[in-house]
Amino acid sequence: MPKFWNWQGSNELYINGYISDEQWFADDVAPKLFKVELSGKKGDIVVWINSSGGDVFAAHEIYNALKEYPGKVTVKIDALAASAASVIAMSGDEVLISPVGYIFIHNPLTVVQGNTSDLEKGIDMLSSIKEGILNAYQLKTGLSREELSRMMDAESTISAQDAVRLGFADGILYTGANILNKKLNLIKIL
């Protein structure tokens, strides 16, 4: 089964590409496999994200699994954490973003067909899903639900600097303290 995540080394997780696949819906294989792999890890982990998003329910399961992980979870946004991937990014105890990285947030989308009642149920479902997404964003950023909702309505692309300013990220990779720590570690090695 193709996966949208992979482990490199013992504690680095890479989430790349589209989140989920048809197997996520066909059975419980993918969510169970992700959780089994995560539960086999010990210590702190680093989660690299470069994804344009995907299935919101898959993202919610990953978000919850990472929030429940007993070690520290550091999320590093490589180039893009968009849509459902932005929800996963909010699971980090610490979220760092590349200076050339972006977070993209928007309202949830679906396809609905049928009569008026079916369409109204679709609208209700999307409203409920938006509330769940807002929970993750608000917990991380501390911004008001109204402000976050407006940002989702506007389909916002958030730069690294704005991600830190708004609270979506805690820092920018390769700058300031991050570079100082690398230099100190290099000095220790020498």
Q: Please list the pLDDT of the chain residue by residue as tens digits (190 residues).
A: 568 888 998 899 999 988 875 555 544 556 678 888 999 999 999 999 999 999 898 899 999 999 999 999 999 999 999 999 999 999 999 999 999 999 999 999 989 899 999 999 999 999 999 999 999 999 999 999 999 999 999 999 999 999 999 999 999 999 975 554 555 555 555 5
Sequence-ordered alpha helix ranges (H) in the chain: 22-26, 29-39, 56-68, 84-89, 116-141, 145-153, 160-166, 176-189
Token pair for residue 14?
């890479």
The pLDDT of residue 27 is: 45
**Phi and psi dihedrals of 162, rounded to 5?**
-70, -35
- Angle CA(62)–CA(179)–CA(185) in degrees, nearest 5? 95
Tokens of 68: 């429940």
> Structurally, how many domains does the chain consist of?
1
- How far apart, in Å, are the Cα atoms of 105 and each of 43, 120, 129, 156, 168? 31, 24, 13, 5, 11
Among residues 27, 21, 29, which one has the least CA distance to residue 2? Answer: 21
Quote the pLDDT of residue 178.
Answer: 53
pTM of the entire structure? 0.87
CATH number of the domain at 32, please: 3.90.226.10
Structural domain including 184 reads: 5-189
The residue written with tokens 């294989």 in the block is: 29
For residues 73 and 12, give the distance between their C-alpha atoms in angstroms, rounded to a whole number: 10
> What tokens were used for 102?
């972006």
